[in-house]
């Protein structure tokens, strides 16, 4: 679970700092809070665009917050990017 659990503005700032040029969407319903992050075609080129075009999604059961869901989606993206850059790593 991400350390960014409560403050939505701080979590959006984190996205912009750690994944510049990435978009996000979020939603909340009675069952979950969900968020997706992905590279923005206007700012990110190949090969990252094709590789991560589907984005990274988190769907957390309630009680949860939008900040938690967005933080989890950011974490998933950062981990996968790190794995992709690590020689010999097993990709998820």
50: confidence class by pLDDT, cuts 50, 70, 90: confident
**DSSP state letters, 51-82:** HHTT-EEEEEESS--HHHHHHHHHHHHHHHHH
| CATH number of residue 36's parent domain | 3.30.160
Q: Tell how many helices (H) and how many strands (E) occur in the chain.
A: 3, 3
pLDDT at 3: 55
Neighbours of 72 (CB within 10 A): 25
| Count of the separate structural domains present in the chain | 1
Average pLDDT, the chain: 88
Segment holding 50, helix H or strand E: helix 48-52
Q: In this structure, is residue 91 part of a structural domain?
A: no
Range of the domain at 23: 8-85
Q: Yes or no: say if 16 and 4 are a contact pair by the CB < 8 Å rule.
A: no
């Amino acid at each position: 679970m991400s350390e960014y659990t409560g403050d939505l503005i701080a979590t959006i700032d984190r996205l912009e700092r750690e994944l510049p040029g990435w978009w996000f969407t979020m939603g909340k319903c009675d069952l979950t809070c969900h968020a997706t992050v992905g590279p923005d075609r206007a700012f990110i080129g190949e090969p990252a665009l094709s590789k991560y075009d589907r984005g990274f999604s988190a769907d957390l059961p309630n009680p949860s917050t939008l900040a938690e869901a967005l933080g989890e989606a950011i974490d998933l993206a950062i981990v996968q990017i790190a794995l992709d850059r690590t020689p010999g790593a097993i990709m998820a």
